[in-house]
């Protein structure tokens, strides 16, 4: 199926694969210098991720990390709750939903931190990062392929985990560093 996109760097592409989570296009791209070339692009609907902070936002609040099995990483990773946007879903609604589904917690306040591209060399995926406070415990409702456990961790310890390579998930590391550097100081 041919796809044509208008705008800077006009793109003409072919859909090579459509799956549950991603699609893959093979695009012919007009680059800024006028030349053209082919790029394989992974298309993703986007996602939201949330830094859930427990209790008072003192000098060293506790962050509710999850330790989740990830097949692509061949093991468990420490992460913040996150998930893809449903069709037509707003990023803020997704952040609330994913926090509840993965941890059971609801938040009285969810604040947008920033939006990032995950890997712009081959995918258009954006993750909207949020910080949640005023958490109240409840029941989680995880998907069948989600294997995780809650790992409440002092923020100072989580930052050390980034430094020591124990937190390897990019969205988690960046969101925690951003929270510590720009929201809690």
Q: What is the pTM of this model?
A: 0.89
Q: 71 and 35, same structural domain?
A: no
Number of domains in the chain: 2
Q: Quick one: pLDDT at residue 55?
A: 85
pLDDT digits (tens, 9 = 90+) for 112-159: 999 999 999 999 999 999 999 999 998 888 777 778 899 999 999 999
* Integer Cα distance of 39 and 44 in angstroms: 16
Q: 109 and 85, same structural domain?
A: yes
Q: State residue 30 phi and psi, 5-degree precision.
A: -95, 115
The residue assigned the tokens 């008072």 is 56
Q: State residue 182 phi and psi, 5-degree precision.
A: -120, -15
* Integer Cα distance of 163 and 147 in angstroms: 25
Numbers of helices and strands, H then E, in the chain: 3, 11
For the annotated catalytic residues, the residue numbers are: 146
CATH of the domain at 124: 3.90.79.10
Q: Quick one: pLDDT at residue 56?
A: 82
Residues in the chain: 185
pLDDT digits (tens, 9 = 90+) for 51-88: 999 988 888 999 999 999 999 999 999 999 999 999 99
Q: Quick one: pLDDT at residue 7?
A: 43
Q: 153 and 92, same structural domain?
A: yes
For residue 64, the cross-strand partners are 152
| Residue 158, helix vs strand vs coil | helix
Q: 132 and 57, same structural domain?
A: yes
Q: 161 and 81, same structural domain?
A: yes
| Residue 99, helix vs strand vs coil | helix
Q: 82 and 164, same structural domain?
A: yes
- 38 lies in which domain range? 2-43
Q: 63 and 29, same structural domain?
A: no
Q: CB of 171 within 8 A of CB of 127?
A: yes
Q: 70 and 149, same structural domain?
A: yes
Q: 179 and 130, same structural domain?
A: yes
Structure tokens at 16: 């090579």
Who wins on pLDDT, 26 or 58? 26
């Amino acid at each position: 199926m041919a796809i044509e996109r208008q705008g800077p760097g006009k793109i003409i592409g072919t859909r090579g694969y459509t799956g549950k989570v991603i699609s893959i296009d093979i695009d012919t791209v007009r680059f800024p210098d006028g030349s053209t070339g082919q790029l394989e692009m992974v298309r993703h609907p986007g996602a939201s991720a949330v830094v859930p902070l427990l209790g008072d936002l003192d000098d060293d609040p506790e962050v509710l990390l999850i330790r989740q099995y990830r097949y692509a990483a061949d093991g468990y990773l420490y992460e913040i709750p996150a998930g893809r946007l449903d069709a037509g879903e707003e990023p803020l609604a997704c952040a609330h939903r994913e926090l509840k589904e993965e941890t059971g917690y609801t938040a009285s306040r969810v604040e947008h931190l920033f939006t990032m591209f995950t890997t712009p060399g081959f995918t258009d995926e954006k993750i909207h990062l949020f910080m949640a406070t005023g958490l109240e415990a409840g029941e989680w409702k995880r998907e069948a392929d989600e294997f995780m456990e809650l790992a409440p961790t002092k923020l100072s310890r989580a930052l050390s985990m980034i430094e020591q390579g124990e937190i390897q998930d990019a969205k988690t590391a960046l969101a925690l560093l951003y929270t510590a550097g720009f929201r809690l100081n």
